[in-house]
Amino acid sequence: MEELSSQKTILSGIKPTGQLTIGNYIGAMKNFVKLQNDYETLYMVVDLHALTVPQEPKELRHKTLSIIAQYIAVGLDPEKNNLFIQSHVTGHTELAWILGCMTGLGDLSRMTQFKDKSAKPGANVNAGLYTYPILMASDILLYNADFVPVGEDQKQHVELTRDIAMRFNYRYSDTFTIPEPIIPKSGARIMDLQNPMSKMGKSDSGESGRIALIDEPSLVAKRIKSAVTDSGSEIKFSETDEKAGIRNLLTIYANLTEISIAEIELMYEGKGYGDFKKDLADIVVERLSPIKNRHDDLMKNKDYLEAVLKSGAESAQKKAWKMLSKVYRKVGLVQAVR
């Protein structure tokens, strides 16, 4: 039967592996918020993905809830969006098994994120880290998502998802929607403040190089003010390595204010890095403080968060069952009598 609504579906997920950073916010979450009014949206916390690296169980539980609270705090309305935890819905790992049987080892070995993570000294290279893109494909295809808002580093995984979906559709007839990534033109890769040649990561950046959405305002300001810049003084956007620090700060400024980089350059003509950083610190603090306050309030209201999660998971589960039984039937599994 055709879906009653012709509305397109948006889906994305974030791993509860550390504190969400302004990189997550600018690269992905800002888009989640923008898209919530015009689409059917599913935003999940992908806790099963977090298990690819060792986690302290108590902390994992806390971080998972904290990300749900941050989804709401940045402006995702639980009435409009399906907000849920991946492990609350049966079907993700089931579909991943089937998709895994159609994914080549070569495809997985090509994944840049896997190559980077497994090359780190002392890396725990487990099978989950390797097969993780299949679980991500399953997250997306289970809900027939049309669009997937993500930062630059996830583009390759969405492309693999498209390949797997096309392979399945070709072999078993049209089943999955072929998803497209939505990647912001600017801000898809916010860099570490202390080491602007590498990505600002939740867990793999040094503490002082990142800003978490729920950091204390004084700490936020301090980190912006002590961000690495070069020995020059001109506030100019340049693609050279030397200018990576100021380029990153300009990108953050432009994304949080919606003022174009060219205009910002004009505003700071004749001024130095100090003035610019001071203003940027105020801008970031002003944006993050209400998010932190709202998050802190929500974390005190576990009943409310649980109600949001219950309703999010119930509605996601209905969609997941429907797709999973369709896939089971198509690949030749005997239908269970329930």
In sign, the C-alpha dihedral spanning 112, 118, 119, 120 is: positive
| Angstrom distance (rounded) from CA 109 to CA 184 | 27
Indicate the burial class of 266 (C-beta count within 10 angstroms; 0-12, 13-18, 19 or more): exposed
Closest approach of ligand TRP to the CB of residue 73, in Å = 19
Q: Determine which residue in the list 83, 99, 111, 188 makes contact with ligand AMP, applying CB under 6 A.
A: 188
148 binds, among ligand AMP, ligand TRP, none (CB under 5 to 8 A by kind): ligand TRP
162 binds, among ligand TRP, ligand AMP, none (CB under 5 to 8 A by kind): none
Q: Which residues bind ligand TRP (CB under 6 A)?
A: 11-13, 15, 46, 49, 136, 139-140, 148, 150, 154, 157
Q: Nearest 5 degrees, angle CA 293-CA 199-CA 196?
A: 100
- Which of 44/250 has CB closer to ligand TRP? 44
- Binding status of residue 319 toward ligand AMP by CB under 6 A: no
What angle separates helix 127-141 from helix 92-100, to the nearest 10 degrees? 110
Closest approach of ligand AMP to the CB of residue 283, in Å = 17
In sign, the C-alpha dihedral spanning 192, 197, 202, 204 is: negative
Cβ neighbours for 290, distance < 8 A, ≥ 6 positions apart: 73
- Which of 26/264 has CB closer to ligand TRP? 26
Cα 181–chain centre separation? 12
- Which of 53/299 has CB closer to ligand AMP? 53
277 binds, among ligand AMP, ligand TRP, none (CB under 5 to 8 A by kind): none
Written as one string, the DSSP assignment of 291-308 is HHHHHHHHHT-HHHHHHH
Q: Determine which residue in the list 94, 107, 153, 230 makes contact with ligand AMP, applying CB under 6 A.
A: 153
User: Which of 48, 13, 283 lies closest to 151, judged by CA?
Assistant: 13
- Binding status of residue 150 toward ligand AMP by CB under 6 A: yes
Q: Which stretch binds ligand AMP (CB under 6 A): 88-96, 171-179, 196-204, 247-255?
A: 196-204
- Which of 139/146 has CB closer to ligand TRP? 139
| Angstrom distance (rounded) from CA 286 to CA 47 | 30
Residues labelled as active-site residues: 117, 199, 202
- Binding status of residue 30 toward ligand AMP by CB under 6 A: no
27 binds, among ligand TRP, ligand AMP, none (CB under 5 to 8 A by kind): ligand AMP
| Angstrom distance (rounded) from CA 241 to CA 234 | 15
User: Which of 112, 267, 284 lies closest to 193, judged by CA?
Assistant: 284
- Length of the chain measured in residues: 338
- Binding status of residue 68 toward ligand AMP by CB under 6 A: no
- Which of 155/167 has CB closer to ligand AMP? 155
136 binds, among ligand TRP, ligand AMP, none (CB under 5 to 8 A by kind): ligand TRP
CB atoms within 10 A of CB 331: 14
Residues 100-139, mask of contacts with ligand AMP (x by CB under 6 A): ----------------------------------------
47 binds, among ligand AMP, ligand TRP, none (CB under 5 to 8 A by kind): none
What dihedral angle (degrees, nearest 10) is formed by the CA atoms of 107, 111, 117, 118? 30
**Contact positions toward ligand AMP, by CB under 6 A?**
14-15, 23-24, 26-28, 150-151, 153-154, 188-190, 199-200, 202
